[in-house]
Amino acid sequence: MHGRRPAHTAAIAMLLVGCMGPGDCDTVAAAESRGIVRGAERPAGAGPTVPIEGGWMVPYDETIPGTAITFRMIPVPGGTFRMGSPAAEADRSADEGPAFEVTVEPFWMGRCEVTWGEYKTYMAACELFKGLEAAKMRPVTAENEAHAVTAPSKLYDPSKTFTNGEDPDLPAVTMTQFAARQYTKWVSKLTDRFYRLPTESEWEYACRAGTHTPWSSGADAATLDAVAWFADNADNTTHPVGRKRPNAFGLHDMHGNVAEWVIDQLVDGGYGKQAAMPQPVAAAAAIVWPTRLAGRIVRGGAFYDDADRLRSAARRGSEDEPWKESDPNLPLSPWWYTEEPSLGVGMRLLRPAVAPPVGQQARWWNADLENIAADTADRLQQGRGARGIVDPGLPDEAKRAGIEE
CATH number attached to the domain at 58-400: 3.90.1580.10
333 within 8 A of 379, measured Cβ to Cβ? yes
Identify the pLDDT of residue 86: 67
| CA 368/CA 142 separation, integer angstroms | 19
Identify the pLDDT of residue 16: 36
Identify the pLDDT of residue 390: 97
| CA 70/CA 166 separation, integer angstroms | 17
DSSP state of 336: B
- The H or E element spanning position 74 is strand 70-76
Buried residues in 178-207 as b, exposed as e (16+ CB within 10 A): bbbbbbbbbbbbbbebbbbbbbbbbbbbbb
Identify the pLDDT of residue 401: 79
Q: Give the alpha-carbon dihedral of 230, 257, 175, 113, to 10 degrees.
A: -160
| CA 77/CA 6 separation, integer angstroms | 9
Query: Does the predicted TM-score (pTM) go above 0.95?
Result: no
| CA 267/CA 157 separation, integer angstroms | 33
How many beta carbons lie within 10 A of that of residue 41, not counting itself? 8
**Residue 26: closest CA among 34, 16, 18:** 18
Instruction: Spell out the per-residue pLDDT of the chain, length 405, in tens.
Output: 443 433 343 333 333 333 333 333 333 345 668 999 999 888 888 788 999 888 999 999 999 999 999 999 999 999 999 999 865 455 567 799 999 999 999 999 999 999 999 999 999 999 999 999 999 999 999 999 999 999 998 887 788 789 899 999 999 999 999 999 999 999 999 999 999 999 999 999 999 999 999 999 999 999 999 999 999 999 999 999 999 999 999 999 999 999 999 999 999 999 999 999 999 999 999 999 999 999 999 999 999 999 999 999 999 999 988 998 888 887 888 999 988 889 999 999 999 999 999 999 999 999 999 999 999 999 998 888 899 999 999 999 888 878 865
Rg value, the chain, Cα: 21
| CA 8/CA 271 separation, integer angstroms | 25
Distances (CA, A) of 89 to 188, 257, 281, 328, 343: 39, 24, 22, 42, 29
